Structure 1
């Protein structure tokens, strides 16, 4: 009887039949194991581009933060500069105040001297028709000849005003205020000089008035200066400009 020779099966072939659907397939290399086709591989391995974008954003944030801080500091500095306006040098404004005051005082005394020398009381002289006349009088009181019985009191008030103007002139920071204070000081001292040194006696002296306009009391250069000072002070106040030159913006 003829024997048939059998070829023995290998161990792998005997334990795992060919064609089995559950036969595992090992990857050829590490790159194949991490291929994008595997969902588990995608979860395990972070995307390099995403990390790079996050790092770039973080770096940008760190870079912008100091820049924003610098911009904020510069803005605060600009606001602080605008909130504190530069003031003129006080000694220049003090000179303006002194020059205006001395000019008014000198002009007032000069015109009074000329009026006493060339005019006669009760004999008015037409200068510009009926619009302006020279009419010499001696006024013992204040404006409009009021308070003639209180000449010493009026003199004391005018001296106090002159001293107050001198004291406040140290804080001048506005040219408008300097001119107004100069007008006020020159006018007040001009009339004080009359009350102290003119007849009939010290602090009872009569003020020399000689300028007359229709429907108005007779006045002098000192009175004009005081009135102009009052108008200028009102204008400065309405504009919101303070004595030190700063501007009041609270009402805006």
Structure 2
């Protein structure tokens, strides 16, 4: 029993070490797993920009199409770019051995990445690439320093470099707002990451929304039955509440003669 307990502790420790060791502020992202439009857009981004290197091998095209309300023919025409069938897993054509030669390591499967990393980490990571000529792919990442991945969404976000911009003033951990207008109080700060105007096809707000949709899809992919589990859980709790009433009445009936 002691050995099993020790094994459990050692299994949990890396999780806490990862959570405590990031040391990077993560922007919060609000996702809605009932928003099929957002998940469809996230799937589109994943298929067009991520699946060249990253698989989702624990998902099936058919399951995703059904859950997201996408007709099978639309799924095959716009998401499946190989000879795969609708019932196949979401694999990629690149072999792990080739990927190791080209990139130094095979790109990870992303089916469960939202459960491993967390939604906020993914949202911040995909918005934190910046130009770094010293890196092999010309980019680095403030969340994942010395990342070995190119910024595949750079055509959307644009060139992100060090510069100056207006940032909201924070005092004692609280963001400051003008008491009359309610607008944020800002000041100029340099050594900030800024996107050079005209280098991306999306505005900053549009790019943030695009990444939010991508994270929403990845969160769905990591736990496709979450909404169904919550729905069933509600009925289970209601059943237990009703059962408790009858159990209490039965207990009182049994014990009335004793007292």
**TM-score band, normalised by shorter chain:** under 0.3
TM-score normalised to structure 2 length: 0.20
Between Structure 1 and Structure 2, which shows a larger proportion of strand residues? 2
Between Structure 1 and Structure 2, which shows a larger proportion of helix residues? 1
Instruction: Tell which structure's C-alpha radius of gyration is larger.
Output: 1
